[in-house]
Amino acid sequence: MSAELLELTVGEALRRIDGGELSADEYADAYAEAAAEDELNAYLWTRESPFAREGDGTGRTEEPPLRGAPVAVKDLFCAEGIETTAGSRILEGYRPPYTATAVRRLEEAGARLLGKTNMDEFGMGSSTENSGYGPALNPWDRTRVPGGSSGGSAAAVRDRTAPWAIGTDTGGSIRQPAALCGVVGLKPTYGAISRYGMIAFASSLDQCGPLTRDVTDAALLLRAMEGRDGCDSTSVGIAGGIELPTREGLEGLRFGVPRELSAEAEGMEAGVAATFERALSTIRDLGGEVDECALPHSAHGLSAYYVLAPAEASANLARYDGVRYGLRADGEVELGAMYERTRSRGFGAEVKRRIMLGTYALSSGYYEAYYGRAQRVRTRIAADFASAFERFDYLLTPTSPTVAFELGARSDNPLAMYMADYCTVPMSLAGIPAISIPCGLAEPDGGGPELPVGLQIAAPAFTESGLLDAAYAVERALGLTATPPGAGP
């Protein structure tokens, strides 16, 4: 019974719960059991006891919309009283005194916290190998990475140890792991969901979003989380809220394919390119108009991102000093030495690299040359998108230039690792929403078993309902039911 339960999308499970065929507690407990047996190091924390029985002590009279469905949460979100590390040793043992707004909203909508998922330290990485607690593994092939930084969330959803999950995306950290694990991942418009209680990496880019089995589930989670929050002055919510997707055809919609982020993208694997081309034909078959377009500055997205994100990170991470949170290096030393020891012991190599890069880019003699210039590139990239959206409703690219790569393949080469974000960073810089949906399987370059490929669809700011509708139509037409070998019943 429970193996079949774990196959359901949350949307389907909610329908069964409403129809009286399934009890909310049975559904949640099946996942509590599955998460406790996680073999992919996808979780950093899972519940020790079963979920409370329905109605226990909550005093609720009306059924909340998510009906007690369990949700896995990236360890970047604070949850009151539950260890929250952001994948870093420097936060080991930190128990926040408050809960992130996104998580609180889910709880208010009736969801229950299933576990905290593994991630690259502070969200810095594309493979989850930068976690201070060991890498998460790809459910399709455990010798490969699940992507990152929300790799634990993506792996858990595909491996059926979570029905759905939330993650964060600064330059691709929801979309890229979703693509590499074969699930749906949505980065909403910057400002759609509150960042309050999300441990900061690069505050002008960080955004929370869903990782789910299908597009409808992504809409359900987004609908529960979006909205203005007085605790985050950059949050505005999505006017009109989120409609659940229903669209079947794509008649009347114009799709642009930016050549810089598809055919001309650096490091694009042949299998990914071919799978992407097949998805374009499906979109044409559905009545969508597909045409080439240009985003001339997007090729400079990565360079701008890897100045701006480290610059913001260097400021955000200054607070981890051994006094206020988590780890403190021991020993009888004076204050400055204690700071130094704590930071050198608590941070991993990638985090230290970013702090140094960011501090350098912001130093007085270089500020204009690096930070100022990167900001101007960011403005140009946003302008490119604005002019593309005068002609097109949506833009299409492969989510990642490659399928899941092998563990260790890029860990000694940060520049190769950064290339994983080539197609996702421009949307983050522009603040616009983008979704990755599974669009088929492809062999890696050099051969091997087939692995998931993601199709990225980007849209103008705050048009998530339309974006979800278009993605839903494509998802239905692709009819993907592929699941990792050896998994499931």
- Radius of gyration (C-alpha) of the chain in whole angstroms: 21
Exactly one of 87, 123, 163, 440 binds ligand GLN (CB under 6 A); that residue is 123
Tell me: does residue 209 bind ligand GLN (CB under 6 A): no
Task: Rule CB under 6 A: choose which of 25, 129, 169, 226 binds ligand GLN.
Answer: 169
Catalytic: 298? no
Tokens of 119: 């991630």
Rounded to an integer, what distance in angstroms lies between the CA atom of residue 403 and that of residue 445?
9
Say whether residue 153 binds ligand GLN (CB under 6 A).
no
Question: At its nearest, how many Å lie between ligand GLN and the CB of residue 96?
Answer: 19
The count of chain residues that interact with ligand GLN, using the rule CB under 6 A, is 13
φ, ψ of residue 187 in degrees (nearest 5):
-100, 110
Least distance from ligand GLN to the Cβ atom of residue 206, Å: 7
Let me know if 324 is exposed, middle or buried by CB neighbors in 10 A (0-12, 13-18, 19+): exposed
Tokens of 381: 């990239």
Q: Give 361's contacts (C-beta < 8 A, 6+ positions apart).
A: 307, 310, 311, 367, 370, 371, 374
Q: Is the peptide bond before 281 cis (omega within 30 degrees of 0)?
A: no
Among 46, 88, 128, 170, binds ligand GLN (CB under 6 A): 170
Binding span for ligand GLN by CB under 6 A among 124-132, 155-163, 382-390, 395-403: 124-132
H/E run at residue 397 = strand 394-398
Contact 119, 128 (CB under 8 A): yes
Q: Which of 127, 149, 150, 436 is catalytic?
A: 149
Q: Which listed residue (88, 126, 127, 173) is catalytic? A: 173
Among 41, 117, 126, 465, binds ligand GLN (CB under 6 A): 126
Residue 7 CB, shortest distance to ligand GLN, in Å, is 29
d(CA 483, CA 480): 9
Among 41, 88, 173, 275, binds ligand GLN (CB under 6 A): 173
Per the annotation, the verdict on 173 as an active-site residue is yes
User: Binders of ligand GLN among 266-285, rule CB under 6 A?
Assistant: none
Residues of span 429-488 touching ligand GLN by CB under 6 A: none
In the bound state with ligand GLN, the residue whose beta carbon lies nearer, of 17 and 265, is: 265
Beta strands in 399-450 (DSSP E): 434-442
Query: Are the beta carbons of 242 and 207 closer than 8 angstroms?
Result: no
Core vs surface per residue 406-418: b (16+ CB within 10 A) or e = ebebbbeebeebb
Q: What amino acid occupies position 87?
A: G
Q: Six-digit token pair at 282?
A: 């499906």
Whether 74 is catalytic is yes
Which of the stretches 16-24, 118-126, 218-226, 335-343 binds ligand GLN when contact is defined by CB under 6 A? 118-126
Question: Rounded to whole angstroms, what are the CA distances from 42 to 14, 73, 156, 211, 314?
Answer: 25, 11, 6, 14, 27
Give the whole-angstrom CA distance, residue 318 versus residue 255. Answer: 43
**By the rule CB under 6 A, 75 interacts with ligand GLN:** no
Please tell me whether residue 421 binds ligand GLN under the rule CB under 6 A: yes
- Each residue 289-318 as x (binds ligand GLN by CB under 6 A) or -, in order, gives --------------------x---------
487: number of Cβ within 10 Å = 12
DSSP state of 52: P
Among 96, 139, 146, 172, binds ligand GLN (CB under 6 A): 172
Among 96, 132, 171, 258, binds ligand GLN (CB under 6 A): 171
Nearest residue (beta carbon) to ligand GLN: 173
Among 9, 46, 149, 400, binds ligand GLN (CB under 6 A): 149
Given the rule CB under 6 A, which of 44-52, 90-98, 169-177, 447-455 is the region that contacts ligand GLN?
169-177
Catalogue the active-site residues: 74, 149, 173
Contact positions toward ligand GLN, by CB under 6 A? 123-126, 149, 169-173, 201, 309, 421
